Structure 1
Amino acid sequence: MRVPSRSPGHQPGPAVASTAPAARRLPAGGRRTTAAPDLAAYRSAVAELLVEVGALADAPSTTARQVLLDQRLREPAVAAVLDATPQGLVGARETLLLEMARYQPNARSSAHDLTALVRIYLLSRIDVLWWRDSPTFLTDEQVRTSTELVDLEWLRRRGLLDFRYQEQPATVLGRGLRAVRRRLRPDATPRTAGLLFRRARREMIAFLNDLGREFAAAGPPGTPPLWVTSLARSAEHQYRLRRLGYAAMVPSGHCLGWAADVELAWYERFGARTTLAGLLLARQEAGEINVIDEGQAWHVCLAPAARRRFRRAYEAEMGV
């Protein structure tokens, strides 16, 4: 099984415009192809490309990297995926080159080097391919008020969640208390800023509940429950993260409501990291999710093929 590169990861990226797909030329004959791209072949090609990018990571190799990308992104397995995204192959290539030109490593970013940046960008295009017709949450207000999203806190208080999360402190006092707790018990929880929006699609809640139960059953004794570090967020917040130096790609599955970030690194101390990684990769191979290794946390995006099943699961679990 070909899986995403395990090279470490952490970084940022541009600004949002219209959510409408960019106009692209149709293939010869005037029709778009309807065959679904081969995602296994795409991931395999990306993994091979990353090895070559890693060998050209130094500053003097800028021209060589561009030539490499020009060649590799036009390979059939890669071009089929990129051309099916709203930007198309040319737009994806130009965006990736711009991201690489702007790249500055920093401690906040999940793209700790250029190789990780390329991996995160290219694998995140699967999310965009899957949900290209799904509307983007453009503003924070849209996330807070959308009827497509459910308040997690309401469910948590009723014992209906099989995963954990923490919210971002909203005040200076709250941030101070969080810092004190971390000093007193540095490993009690993952080192994450927490959720700005404690809201998620119903299908994502059902998926994370299902994963949380599976992890609880498979993990070593004493393993804490599944921890989610990010869910739905707005394009407005995505650009806020980019300005802070995070690898917040645009467009993003988070801004469509179909992605989440799951803590991985923290579970190393419980001997459960490999178990959780295996569960995620098995679900990816089954076509249920897309997975991106971003180092401390792994990005997951629900596949459209799994949407109906998890919507039904949510309704059954919540009695609606």
Structure 2
Amino acid sequence: MRVPSRSPGPQPGPAVASTAPTRRLPTAAGRHPVPGRPDLAAYRAAVAELLVEVGALADAPSTAARQVLLDQRLREPAIAAVLAATPQGFVGARETLLLEIARYRPNTRSSAQDLTALVRIYLLSRIDVLWWGDTPSFGTDNQVHTSTELVDLEWLRRRGLLAFRYQEQPATVLGRGLRALRRRLLPGAAPHTAGLLFRRARREVVALLNDLGREFALATGPGTPPLWVTSLARSAEHQYRLRRLGYAAMVPSGHCLGWAADVELDWFHRFGARDTLAELLLARQEAGELNVVDEGQAWHLCLAPAARRRYRQAYEAEMGV
């Protein structure tokens, strides 16, 4: 199977036609650069080549050589064009990446298990920022909880309007204890994730995940659990908390802009469905709907601006609004 930029049945709910293209072939927007905009296919290809070289220089004695490599490769037109178009600009994006590398310490919590993964996550997540950099971030937890731009997933779940699953983070010591007990008694019954701190998302992202959940269910059939979402909108305040805990939480982030989500991948190995889900995500990236970043256990998704209107219409049709 391809990897992004490196060499029981459906949930109940109303029957809604998929918003995905019928054959899921790459569209012109997915394959060809738009005049005046960076070529994202060329960017992803250049990042893939860079990652091979970074992997060969990931040891501590190669620090100086690695910095020289990054200085040279980040200036290549395909990469420089994307970084220059982000709100930080080329210099800001480059300095941020070098600082992330200097501060990097491997740990079991982080999705960046090595320096190569850190560089991959940072560079590919800049596409999110390129797309949505003019969107105000949700700065505080309270802004996420109260924003009218976001909807409550629990309200939708109770009405059978979601084609995917999630679990919330336990809010108390007792809740965390019960979660740990359940994992011991039923190992593998659910993904090993902390769960959602914020069960809120933009309407377009809900429609995207519903559409993806339905497509995944059709591709796998009975016996495979529904699509599992591990992260949605979150605040910049929480992003910095995650960074202090050692997670590879990039700043700025598509999550803090409300346009990103993370979906579980590794857990679906148990059901022989991981590769199927990966292929569905990559096909949507090629079609220009998504940015996809392999973060290991979970993959990061960001909705493309070109797909925003279609998914907003899909949400309103599904919810009858």
Considering the TM-score relative to the shorter chain, is it more than 0.5?
yes
1:159-174 to 2 correspondences below 5 Å: 159-174=160-175
Judging changes above 3 Å, is the alpha-carbon distance between structure 1 residues 6 and 273 closer, same or farther for their aligned structure 2 residues? farther
Q: How far off is 1:2 after superposition? A: 7.8
CA contact (8 A) 1:229 1:262 kept: yes
Match of 1:199 in 2: 200
The Cα of 1:143 is off from its aligned counterpart by: 0.2
Q: For residues 74-113 of structure 1, what are the structure 2 equivalents within 5 Å?
A: 74-113=75-114
Give the C-alpha shift of residue 221 in structure 1: 3.4
User: What's 2:268 paired with?
Assistant: 267
8 Å CA contact retained: 1:150, 1:201: yes
Q: What amino acid does structure 2 have at the position aligned with 1:266?
A: W
Which residues of 2 match residues 12-91 of structure 1 at below 5 A? 35-91=36-92
TM-score scaled by structure 2? 0.90
> Map of 1:79-228 to 2, 5 A cutoff?
79-228=80-229
The alpha carbon displacement at 1:219 in A equals: 1.2
- Structure 1 CA distance, aligned partners of 2:283 and 2:303? 13
Residue 285 to residue 44, structure 1, CA distance change in 2 (3 Å): same
Deviations 1:144-181 (A, max 9, x none): 00000000000000000000000000000000000010
Distance in 2 (alpha carbons) for counterparts of 1:214 and 1:53:
36
2:4 match: secondary structure: coil
CA RMSD across the alignment:
1.4
Amino acid at match of 2:193: T
CA contact (8 A) 1:215 1:279 kept: yes
Q: Which runs of 5+ in 1 are unaligned?
A: 8-32
Aligned residues: 295
Please say if residues 260 and 302 of structure 2, whose CA atoms lie closer than 8 Å, have aligned partners that are also in contact: yes
SS in 1 for 2:211: helix
Q: Which amino acid aligns with 1:184?
A: L
Question: Per-residue CA shift, 1:269-292, capped at 9, x if unaligned?
Answer: 100000000000000000000000
Report if the CA contact (8 A) 1:2-1:40 is conserved.
no
Does the CA-based 8 Å contact 2:3-2:294 persist in structure 1?
A: no
**Local SS of the residue matching 2:301:** strand
Which runs of 5 or more residues in structure 2 are unaligned? 8-33
Q: Distance in 1 between matches of 2:320 and 2:225?
A: 27
Residue in structure 1 matched with residue 307 of structure 2 by the alignment: 306
Partner of 2:12: none
User: Which consecutive segments of 4 or more residues in structure 1 shift more than 2 A?
Assistant: 1-7
* SS of corresponding position for 1:228: strand
Residue 135 to residue 225, structure 1, CA distance change in 2 (3 Å): same
